[in-house]
Structure 1
Amino acid sequence: MTIRKAVLADSIGIAKVHVDSWRTTYKNIIPDAFLSNLSYDRRTDLWNENIVKEGNYVFVAENSDGEIIGFADCGKRESNHIPESGDVTAIYLLEEYQGKGIGKGLLKQVFLQFEELGFNRIFVEVLEDNKTRYFYEYYGAELYKTKKITIAGAELNLLIYEWNNIRNVLIKF
């Protein structure tokens, strides 16, 4: 398994992981009609923009055949006005690769990026019913606040977690 910075040519592979992992991760959380309507082409366009966007950092995980099996995205959300802070905006893996340490490797890469940027506080948003929240809690994320959101007509609880000392996270790797 290799983790590296994404390049524009990775957009198609990232989009496939994004769509496929949403369909497995959010099954029975987000309405099926929304999940089945996700498009590889639209997600490819989104990742073409994200990869080249200033202040955004995208990393991919590849299997031994060079196929993208996961990705992470980080930077600073436009809504984040806290100085010297950043956001983990996505970490997704294909279901068959979960639980093998790949997410840990992607999270480490993201936190190394934050360290390089001089960020001290890091936030991540996760739906309450998404079991990935336990992954973030394991690495020391603490609940910062909760808010209600609506996706495809479903009202969901969005949990916003915070790490307030990235060194404490990095020593866990």
Structure 2
Amino acid sequence: MNIRKATLKDAAGIAKVQVDTWKTTYRGMVPDDYLDHMSYERREEMWGKIIGDGQVVYVAEDNGEVVGFANGGEERSNKYSGYDGELFAIYILESYQRQGLGKKLMAPVVDELKSKGLSSMIVCVLEKNDSKRFYEVLGAEKVDTVKINFGGRDLKEAVYGWKDLEQVNL
């Protein structure tokens, strides 16, 4: 297993991981119609732009195939005083989950956020998503619960945070 910074060549692999994990993780949480209409092509285009813009993106690869990714940057909402960074996404193919890849993907993202002068971080996760326990194990504390509209359905999103990136339990 190799963890490395993403390149433009990884956009297709990242897109595949995102679409496939959304369909296995969020089925029953978000509208099926939304999941059924996700496409590799649209996500590949989106990830090409994200990587091309120089955002913090790391991939996990197994035998040259992208099996997981994580990305982060500056906190986007400016809603959470005391939090300047954000973990935007972390997804791992179902068959690779529960093998320590989440921590391995988060470590370089946290390191890069620190190198950019950021000292804290939030992450938003659907309230019904069991992966919120992952963040709790890593030392995050629940900061807020917000309502979001996703594909025409009102959902609750939990906001977790680390006040100090040095305290992320990696």
Fold agreement, TM-score > 0.5: yes
- Which residue in 1 is equivalent to 2:141? 142
Do 2:143 and 2:160's aligned partners in 1 also have CA atoms closer than 8 Å? yes
- Which residue in 2 is equivalent to 1:109? 108
**Aligned residue identity for 1:71:** F
Which shifted more, 15-24 or 144-153? 144-153
Structure 1 position 83, deviation (Å): 7.0
CA RMSD between the two structures:
1.4
2:66 to 57, 68, 87: 68
Relative to the length of structure 1, the TM-score reads 0.93
Give structure 1 regions of 4+ aligned residues with deviation exceeding 6 angstroms: none
Structure 1 position 116, deviation (Å): 1.2
Structure 1 position 89, deviation (Å): 0.1
Structure 1 position 80, deviation (Å): 2.8
Equivalents in 2 of 1:70, 1:5: separation in Å? Answer: 12
- Which residue in 2 is equivalent to 1:3? 3
Equivalents in 2 of 1:32, 1:70: separation in Å? Answer: 23
2:14 pairs with 1:14: yes
Which shifted more, 151-160 or 1-10? 151-160
Q: Structure 1 pair 83/163, CA: closer, same or farther in 2 (3 Å)?
A: closer
Equivalents in 2 of 1:105, 1:163: separation in Å? Answer: 17
- Which residue in 2 is equivalent to 1:125? 124
Equivalents in 1 of 2:147, 2:40: separation in Å? Answer: 28
Relative to the length of structure 2, the TM-score reads 0.94
**Aligned residue identity for 2:130:** K
Count of aligned pairs: 169
Query: Unaligned 5+ residue runs, structure 1?
Result: none
- Which residue in 1 is equivalent to 2:77? 79
Identity of aligned residues (%): 43
- Which residue in 1 is equivalent to 2:39? 39
Equivalents in 1 of 2:40, 2:78: separation in Å? Answer: 28
